[in-house]
Amino acid sequence: MRLIHPASSDDVDLSQVYAYPDRPCVRVNMVASADGGTWLKGLSGGLSGGGDRQIFGVLRGLADVIVAGAATVRTEGYGPARPRKSWHPLREGRTAVPPVAVITRRLDLDLASPLFTEAEPYARTIIITCGAAPPERRREAAAHAEVIVAGGERVDMALAVKELGDRGLSRVLCEGGSKINGQLAAADLIGDLCLTVSPILIGGDASRILNGPAALSQLRLVHVLEDEGFLFTRYTRES
């Protein structure tokens, strides 16, 4: 893997080039094809490669919390994050792993899945929902996860991020899907975008990385890495 912008001949330290800023930050990490699609045969993994998986692991190790929408959790078969030896220096003074926080309005989650049954030894899974969620289902969820109610009829993203921050989880890593990303953008919450561009054209009807109302954010390119034709870009919000 090489750093091509800004150009450098030095070895790349991924934990340094992807370090969070010294302030609360919502970071979105996505992979997309060269023509902008975010899944292949319904899954993002078909667009990924070795370098992308390496960066994915580093980003998780740096984060306080991993956020994903319920649809992404179901489709991608999420489980809890597992401790990694490489994370020890990244997570000094914090839990061994970041908890996963699932955003869901209807609480249509499999509470018997490993994401909930196998998380407890590491970091308890968090569910972020709203007041309109079925009360009985919310009580059931509370037996398997920490439940945060953020908003009335739907999840209020700004309130959800604040609630996470109040729990000391201010370095947020959002892994999608595109609707959740769109809601974060509409609420003007995205501070950092890590986008892998896969060297493949897929066509079809795959979503873009943002799916929702128009939301203009001016970004600054921080770096571009390259490995086996994949481009790994990082953008940050203009101050």
What is the chain's pLDDT, residue by residue, as a tens digit (239 residues)?
A: 999 999 888 899 999 999 999 999 999 999 999 999 999 888 898 899 999 999 999 999 999 999 999 999 999 999 999 999 999 999 999 999 999 999 999 999 999 999 999 998 899 999 999 999 999 999 999 999 999 999 999 999 999 999 999 999 999 999 999 999 999 999 999 999 999 999 999 999 899 999 988 888 899 999 999 999 999 999 999 76
What's the pLDDT score for residue 234? 98
Phi-psi region of 80 (alpha: psi -120 to 50; beta: other; left: phi over 0): beta
Question: Quick check: is 6 in a domain?
Answer: no
What's the pLDDT score for residue 239? 65
Global confidence as pTM:
0.96
Question: Quick check: is 158 in a domain?
Answer: yes
For every residue of 160-173, DSSP letters joined together read HHHHHHHTT--EEE
What's the pLDDT score for residue 143? 97
Question: Quick check: is 56 in a domain?
Answer: yes
Tell me how far apart the alpha carbons of residues 225 and 196 are, in angstroms, rounded to a whole number: 9
User: Domain range spanning residue 128?
Assistant: 23-237
Tell me how far apart the alpha carbons of residues 32 and 84 are, in angstroms, rounded to a whole number: 26
Question: Quick check: is 167 in a domain?
Answer: yes
Question: Quick check: is 13 in a domain?
Answer: no
Tell me how far apart the alpha carbons of residues 232 and 141 are, in angstroms, rounded to a whole number: 37
Amino acid residing at 169: L
Question: Quick check: is 50 in a domain?
Answer: yes
Question: Quick check: is 75 in a domain?
Answer: yes
Tell me how far apart the alpha carbons of residues 16 and 2 are, in angstroms, rounded to a whole number: 14
Question: Quick check: is 152 in a domain?
Answer: yes
CATH number of the domain to which 86 belongs: 3.40.430.10
Query: Structurally, how many domains does the chain consist of?
Result: 1
